C-alpha cells in the first residue's frame, strides 16, 4: 500500500468536500451529512486499487483486499479525526456540547462505527477499482 498516495487522495478529497459544502451553504443550499465522511476513504481506496492493478496486472485476492481495508483503517481514522479538529476551528460550535467523558465516548463510538462501515467499503472499492482498471488496460485505454 502506498501510504503517501492514499493519504494525498484522502486529504484532497476531504478539503474538496469541505469547500463544496461551504460554498453551497453560502448560497443557502445544505447538502452536508455524515455519510460524506466516507468519501475520502473511498477515493483513497480507488486510487490504491488502480495502483495495485497497474503494478501487479491482476485482481487482488480476497485476502489482499481485506488486508488493505484493515491496514488502511488506522490511517482513515487518524485523518478523519484531524479533519474534525480542523473543521472545529472553522465551526467552533461543532463540538460545543461535548467535553471530557462525553467527547471520549463520542470519539470512541465514531471510531467503532467508522470501522464497521469503512473496512468492508474500502475493501470493496479497492477490489472493484482494480477490476475496472484491468478491464480498461485490456481494452487499451490506460
Look at the chain and report how many structural domains it folds into: 1
Q: Which residue has the cell 485490456?
A: 138
Q: Which bin fits 2, alpha (ψ -120 to 50), beta or left (φ > 0)? A: beta
Q: How far, CA to CA in Å, does 82 sit from each of 20, 56, 62, 71, 135?
A: 19, 33, 30, 18, 36
How many angstroms separate the CA atoms of 6 and 4, rounded? 5
Q: State the residue range of the domain holding 129.
A: 3-138
pLDDT, tens digit only, all 142 positions of the chain: 888 999 999 999 988 988 888 888 888 888 867 778 889 999 999 999 999 999 999 999 999 999 999 999 999 989 888 887 777 777 766 666 666 777 778 778 888 988 999 999 999 999 999 999 999 999 986 5
pTM to 2 decimal places: 0.83
Amino acid at each position: 500500500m502506498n501510504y503517501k498516495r492514499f493519504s494525498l487522495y484522502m486529504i484532497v478529497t476531504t478539503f474538496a468536500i469541505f469547500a463544496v459544502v461551504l460554498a453551497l451553504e453560502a448560497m443557502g443550499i445544505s447538502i452536508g451529512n455524515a455519510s460524506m465522511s466516507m468519501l475520502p476513504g473511498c477515493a483513497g481506496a480507488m486510487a490504491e486499487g488502480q495502483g495495485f492493478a497497474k503494478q501487479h496486472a491482476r485482481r487482488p485476492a480476497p485476502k489482499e483486499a481485506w488486508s488493505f481495508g484493515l491496514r488502511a483503517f488506522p490511517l482513515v481514522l487518524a485523518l478523519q479525526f484531524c479533519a474534525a479538529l480542523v473543521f472545529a476551528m472553522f465551526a467552533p460550535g461543532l463540538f460545543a456540547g461535548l467535553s471530557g467523558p462525553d467527547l471520549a465516548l463520542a470519539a470512541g463510538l465514531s471510531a467503532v462505527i467508522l470501522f464497521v462501515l469503512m473496512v468492508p467499503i474500502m475493501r470493496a472499492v479497492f477490489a472493484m477499482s482494480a477490476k475496472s482498471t484491468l478491464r480498461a488496460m485490456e481494452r487499451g485505454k490506460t
